[in-house]
Amino acid sequence: MSNMSFMPQLKAFLKRNKIIYTVRKYKMADAMVEVDGIGECHRIPIGIIEKKEDLNDYVDGSGFSTVDEWWTKIKYFIPGSWTTKYIYKVEVEER
């Protein structure tokens, strides 16, 4: 099982809400992943993010207050407007 990392405030959001939307630069399959401090989670591919407006439907589940705040963080971690970005839903597996 692969690992998935989150910034501390996003990890806290995932722990509290049992779900988070996250954007990554790699295309990854639907899979079970380990999140440190949380445990087993289900990573579900949603689609491709080409512009910040594509985040509108997901911001409430992102751990960020606004699309602009989220987009700024994405651009920091995934620099370059030409870089394809992928959005995933991550759900905590309840046991």
pLDDT digits (tens, 9 = 90+) for 71-91: 999 999 988 877 889 999 999
Residue 94 per-residue DSSP state: P
Q: How many CA atoms lie within 13 A of 95 on its CB side?
A: 4
Spatial CA neighbour of 40 closest among 77, 94, 83, 80: 94
* Cα 85–Cα 87–Cα 92 angle in degrees, nearest 5: 145
Give the pLDDT of residue 83.
82
Question: Which domains can be identified in the chain, with CATH numbers?
Answer: 2-92 (2.30.130)
* Residue whose structure tokens are 């030409």: 82
Query: What pLDDT does residue 88 have?
Result: 98
Give me the residues paired with residue 41 across strands.
33, 92
pLDDT in tens, 12-41: 999 999 999 999 999 999 999 999 999 999
Give strand pairing partners of 49: 85
pLDDT higher at 82 or 9: 9
Terminus-to-terminus CA distance in the chain, angstroms?
17
